[in-house]
A and B are shown apart, each in its own frame.
Chain A
Amino acid sequence: MSGMRRWLANPWGRPRFLALLTVLYMVWSIAPILLAVRFSFNEGRSRSTAQGWSTRWYWDEPDLSVWNDPSLRQALFQSLKLAGLAMAIAVPLGIALGVALTRWRGRGAGLARSTTLLPLVTPELVLGVALFLTVIHLFHFIDLGTVAQLVGHVTFSLAFVVIIVRGRLLSIGKEYEEAAMDLGASPVQALRLALLPLLMPAVFASFMFVFAISIDDFVISQFLSSSASTETIPIKIYANARGAPTPALNALASAMLFATLLAVALAFLILRVTRRSRGERGSAMGDFANLRV
């Protein structure tokens, strides 16, 4: 009885009901994904029952597996190509824009800042429709297909890079650049030698974010796709989820999942090492969850 009373009186005691709810939430959140990955390793043709283990739907099966079905393999490469190109453009562009918008205090700075952040709150459907109509009615120098999709991915992920850089810059402060310039560095040298090394964690995080956004993107990719040859993995999932005859679709989705998780794990490890070397304390995962990098 006294144990019960102590448990009730302790304000930091664990509420059992909430613990149960949290565990149930985690299971509900993760289990369907694990099962979808599980079905991709099926030996049989079922997409709703576990049937033995094989890599049949990844590469063994002629014609129907991810690697041997030209349309599925094509989608895998299109997704990876877009993600790579989007990273190469969006990260440098976004870093420069993020630094500029944080430091720039002139007329028009406020307008520039909110316009840059608007894509963040614009539903993807609106952005997809906007770019689709612009490409066919106004920008005749861009064709629907890979280039248009790339433009869309960069536009959509740019604001995320700006936010990440901004957060990091606000925690660094201006002192390092000012010190560098007092010691005779030109503005460009101060940026390159003093600020850029301090921004490296934000750069890594940006690469990871742009990769994840681009490879997961569906709406923009679909609106700006021109033909079967520019379909990405999510478009294939959308088109075939209900009718696919074999677990090859699950294998394709799982391959994308493995690629993303690998990229995230890599970026996270780098982030952790840089945090350690700077002697920062606290949970890296906690910072990660709060988008503080």
Chain B
Amino acid sequence: MRYPRWFWAAFGAPGLVWVALFFVIPVYTILAIAMGQPDPIFQDPIPEWNPLQWDVGAFETVFSGFGPGEAFYVVFLRTFAYVAIALALSLAIGYPVAYFIARHGGRWKTLLLIGLVAPFWISYLMRMLAWVNLLQDDGYVNRALMWLNVIDAPRAWLDGRPSTVILGLVYGYIPFLILPLYAALDRIDRSLLEAARDLGAGRIQTFRRVTLPLSKPGILAGSVIITLPMFGDYYTPDLLSGSPRTNMIGNEIYLFILQGSQRRVGAALVIVLMLILLVFMLYYLVSTTRASKELEA
């Protein structure tokens, strides 16, 4: 006897219904709100479920804000800059660390891995709170820098500084980058490295021509994993700066959806953001599907 044909579909049905109700329909709702008309009296958005009657007014508002120097233009450019710098810094710090633990961890490996995994179990908000504590005017960062004579007077680190926000992004997301990097580097067969050395390649050449190409999937996967949430971040700038000067796309969406009455514009912004991120999302889905197919084969 084997499982009947319908068996698995029926077994997965409750979960699939859940995903349809609470993921697929809600994502469509964003579109329906963005394409709907505002209520003439209260200016509340009215969702438009029929694509034939969609109104692109909200998108016109958003796109007119994209002219050079306009509000959204500045915020989008700033977001891209912050994310790019934070990603580059994370890779520059994360790759050597992951490489060292995978290759040279030795008897310390378990302890180092606990160190890598630990931030996963600590709330992101608490990790930001820890930096708020440290970066206060009388905090340990200012005191250490003054003791080292780097600065003469306490600096207001939490007062709208892009560098602080970028530090927060790196600190917040780097654990999610290091783990895939570690997994990719740990999987590399050591005999390949020995073969490269036997064939006369030096340390650097072995790294450049064997290790680096073999760890590329880990670099890409890790970069996508941290880029996606960084684009939707609003709490890191809020906690570490709190100034409109460091607002990211996420802050604008948060303000439009939760604080203001312009929910249509907020919804249109979310759609624009999703279109930008779609490339990354699809890349990640395709590569994980391919990886699990290989596992099955």
Q: Which residue of A lies closest to B24 (CB)?
A: A115
State whether B229 touches A123 (Cβ < 8 A). Answer: yes
Which residues of chain A come closer than 8 Å to B224, judged between CB atoms? 121
| Given A19-B104, A286-B109; A131-B129 close (CB under 8 Å) | no
Closest CB of chain B to A40's CB: distance in Å? 10
Within 8 A of B (CB), among A125-158: 125-127, 129-134, 137-138, 151-152, 154-155, 158
Contact for B26 among A134, A212, A215, A261, CB less than 8 A: A134
Question: Are A47 and B136 in contact, CB atoms less than 8 angstroms apart?
Answer: yes
Whether a CB of chain B sits under 8 angstroms from the CB of A4 is no
On chain A, the residues within 8 Å of B19 by CB distance are 97, 115-116, 119, 155, 158
Contacts of A127 in B (CB 8 A): 23, 26
Among A28, A100, A132, A261, the residue within 8 A (CB) of B121 is A261
Complex Cα distance, B126 from A234, in Å, reads 7
In the complex, are the beta carbons of B127 and A289 less than 8 A apart? no
Contact of B8 with A100 in the complex, beta carbons under 8 Å: yes
Interface positions, chain B 106-138, Cβ under 8 Å from A, are 106, 109-110, 112-134, 136, 138
What's the least CB distance linking A261 to chain B, in Å? 6
Q: Are A241 and B115 in contact (CB under 8 A)?
A: no
Interface string of A16-48 (1 = CB under 8 A from B): 001101100110111011011001000000111
- Once A155-B18, A260-B122, A285-B113 are accepted as A-B contacts, the answer to whether A11 and B193 lie under 8 Å apart by CB is yes
Given A36-B129, A112-B16, also A234-B123 (CB < 8 A): yes
Q: B292 contacts the other chain (Cβ, under 8 Å)?
A: yes
A256 within 8 A of B: yes
Say which one of A63-71, A199-207, A216-224, A273-281 lies at the interface with B. A216-224
Q: With the chains together, A21 CA to B9 CA distance in Å?
A: 50
CA distance in complex: A96, B132 (Å): 42
- Contact A289 B183, beta carbon cutoff 8 Å: yes
Interface: B260 (CB within 8 A): no
- Counting chain B CB atoms within 10 Å of each CB, the highest count among A26, A94, A256 belongs to A26
Instruction: Please report the C-alpha to C-alpha distance between residue A149 and residue B23 in the assembled complex, in whole angstroms.
Output: 14
CB distance from B184 to the nearest CB of A (A): 10
Cβ–Cβ < 8 Å partners of A26 in chain B: 112, 115
Give bound CA distance, A237 to B289, whole Å.
Answer: 37
CB distance from B128 to the nearest CB of A (A): 7
Do the beta carbons of A48 and B134 come within 8 Å of each other? Answer: yes
> Interface residue count for B (Cβ, 8 Å)?
110
Of the residues A133, A241, A264, contact of B267 by C-beta under 8 Å: A133
Kindly list chain A residues whose C-beta atoms are within 8 Å of the C-beta of B69: none
Taking chain B's interface residues, is the majority helix, strand, or loop, or is none over half, making it mixed? helix
Q: Which of B124-175 contact A (CB under 8 A)?
A: 124-134, 136, 138-140, 158, 171, 174-175
B138 touches A218 (CB 8 A): no
Known contacts being A112-B16, A123-B277, A124-B232, is A33 close to B285, with CB within 8 Å?
Answer: no
Return chain A residues, CB-CB under 8 Å to B104: 12, 14-15, 18-19
Beta-carbon contacts of A229-241 to B below 8 Å, as 1s and 0s?
0000110011001
Set A35, A97, A125: member contacting B16, Cβ < 8 A: A97
Closest Cβ of chain A to B101, distance in Å, is 7
CA distance A158 to B14 in the complex (A): 12
Q: Are B33 and A133 in contact (CB under 8 A)?
A: yes
A118-B285 in contact given A32-B131, A36-B133 (Cβ < 8 Å): yes
- Judging by beta carbons under 8 Å apart, are A289 and B27 in contact? no
CA distance A97 to B9 in the complex (A): 9
Question: Within the assembled complex, what's the spacing in Å between the Cα atoms of A286 and B112?
Answer: 10
Beyond known contacts A29-B171, A234-B124: 18 more, CB 8 A cutoff: A11-B197, A21-B93, A29-B115, A29-B175, A33-B127, A36-B126, A48-B139, A114-B285, A116-B16, A125-B232, A125-B234, A125-B253, A133-B29, A178-B2, A215-B123, A249-B129, A260-B122, A290-B186
